[in-house]
Amino acid sequence: MKIRGVITAAGDSIRLGQPKALLTIAGETFIERLVRILGAGGVDEVVLVVGGRHASVLTQECERLGIKPVHNPDPQRGPVSSILCGMNKPGDWDLLLVQPVDVIGISEADVRQLIESQNRWPDHDAWILSHDMRRGHPVLVDRETVSSLGTEGGPEHLRALLGQPKMRLHHEVTDNPLILEDVDDSKDWERIQTRI
């Protein structure tokens, strides 16, 4: 099964005051780190979705890394608009892995474990990492299931999709608490970067 990873990075980072995707950890930008981790973890294709006021500088970073970004023309609609842009990029895929750019503490092992859970539980619709009984990122969803996002009468966002009563969702438990942590502001970043 072919896995397309979508990194959502079209937000304006208003609380942080600068593009989250360009923050650095251990000499890598968030974009660079996540592309490396997803690829090493078993994702076949990584798509970075950019938009909003930081689209130009994020596109430059993508060019530096040899990645062709997908542009979200309407990021004000929220993360689902970026997921849809990543899904609709031409190409063949069976499973969509969704990873926000600001959840930077994931590891190759987390990604591999999530993908392996799909292999062990193929009769499910979606697979999600969890820690301490809480859902985190990334999330892996089969093509048929995720295709209902944004359709007439369909779920309006990923959380609504995963919360549908008929959803066969597998929670894959990890010991990495950083799958729950996102960088929204400078205090978050100060707290999280010391734990990576």
- When pLDDT is cut at 50, 70 and 90, the band that residue 12 belongs to is low
| Two tokens, residue 159 | 């959380």
pLDDT for the residue numbered 184: 85
pLDDT digits (tens, 9 = 90+) for 33-42: 999 999 999 9
CB 5 within 8 A of CB 141: no
Q: CA 182: distance to chain centroid? A: 11
**Residue 39 covered by a domain:** yes
- Residues 98 and 15: their CA atoms lie apart, in Å, by 22
Q: Does residue 149 sit within a domain? A: yes
Average pLDDT over residues 84-113: 97
Please give the residue range of the domain that contains residue 7.
Answer: 3-189
pTM greater than the 0.85 cutoff: yes
**What CATH number has the domain bearing residue 65?**
3.90.550.10
Does the residue 66 lie in any domain?
yes
Q: Domain total for the chain?
A: 1
Q: What is the mean pLDDT of the chain?
A: 93
- Name the token pair of 93: 């895929």
Report if residue 196 sits inside a domain. Answer: no
d(CA 139, CA 148): 16
> Does the residue 115 lie in any domain?
yes
Q: What is the pLDDT of residues 104-163, one digit of tens each?
A: 999 999 999 999 999 999 999 999 999 999 999 999 999 999 999 988 888 989 999 999
Kindly state the helix (H) or strand (E) to which residue 115 belongs, with its residue range.
helix 108-120
Query: Cα–chain-centroid distance for residue 110?
Result: 13
Three-state DSSP state, 93: coil
Residue type present at position 111: V
What is the reported pLDDT for 17? 67
